[in-house]
Amino acid sequence: MPILQGFALSFDPIESLARIRAAQGRPASSEALRQSDEQALAELQPRLAPAVAYGVYALRGRVAEGLLLANGQVLRSQVAGELFGAAGEVVIMVYTIGPAAEARAAELQAAGDYSVAYTLDALATLALNEVGVVACREIDCLAQSKGVRASIPLNPGTSHWPASDQPRVVALAGAGAIGVQVTSSFLLRPFKTNPMVIALGENVLTPEQGSSCDYCARPELCGRPRREAQGREGRARD
């Protein structure tokens, strides 16, 4: 199964963090905050170990429990079954930045350096998001090479996909090869790790047409409005 490792991240995490603070209406950065940001970035950069693992699987289609793979395994998400059931293939992916950044943030917090620890954790999350961008670009290229389109990503462990499916997803992605494990409570370790499933097909729901957020049962947790079901179903059929 394909593995991507050792690639550079091209974004500016401090600039990204500044935009988030501005969107939240937080005050402009003080000198102390700027120094904390720079120290956190210096802690982050040598500890980043971005990696992506994925597998591509043929589909049989939608079943009552979710999505049936050609190998007989079932991805237990009815939303995945609804959206991906007519696709030809599905990409099951896991990506991470490794354990070092989160371990260092814990050390800083234990030492009482709360500001840098908090900022380091925030920057690490932004870095993980950027690894997800790299992963999606990889799958976009894969789809183009096959003459099809890549769908919106769905994330196991969210409100419409039970976390109990994480061991299956990690195994199908081959994520053990990049150091990802699943705890007894179905959490992924390292914690800065995300799973992602993307369908490949001619008539899949693309990111230009919709979002996985449209299918979240708890939109109030992040404050993002949820679209009406009729609109979501219409895009899924288009």
* Residue 86 tokens, joined: 């007519």
Letter string b/e over residues 134-148, b meaning 16 or more CB atoms within 10 A of that residue's CB: bbbebbeebbeeeeb
**Do 92 and 194 touch, CB atoms closer than 8 A?**
no
CB atoms within 10 A of CB 165: 20
Task: Give Dmax (Cα) for the chain.
Answer: 58
Q: Could you tell me which residues are beta bridge partners of residue 112? A: none
* Structural domain containing residue 178: 3-237
**DSSP string over 19-81:** HHHHHTTPPPPPHHHHHHHHHHHHHHGGG---EEEEEEEEEEEEETTEEEETTS-EE--HHHH
* CA pair distance 193, 129, nearest whole angstrom: 10
Give the pLDDT confidence score for residue 220 in this predicted structure: 59
- Predicted TM-score (pTM) of the model is 0.87
Structural domain total, the chain:
1
Residue owning tokens 């120094």: 35
pLDDT of residue 48: 96
Residue 158's pLDDT is: 85
Low-confidence ranges of the chain (pLDDT < 70): 27-29, 210-213, 216-238
What is the per-residue pLDDT for 149?
96
Give the CATH number of the domain where residue 222 resides.
Answer: 3.40.109.40
Angle between helices 100-110 and 31-44 (to 10 degrees): 130
- pLDDT attached to residue 33: 81
Q: In the chain, count of helices (H) and strands (E)?
A: 7, 9
Average predicted confidence (pLDDT) for the chain: 88
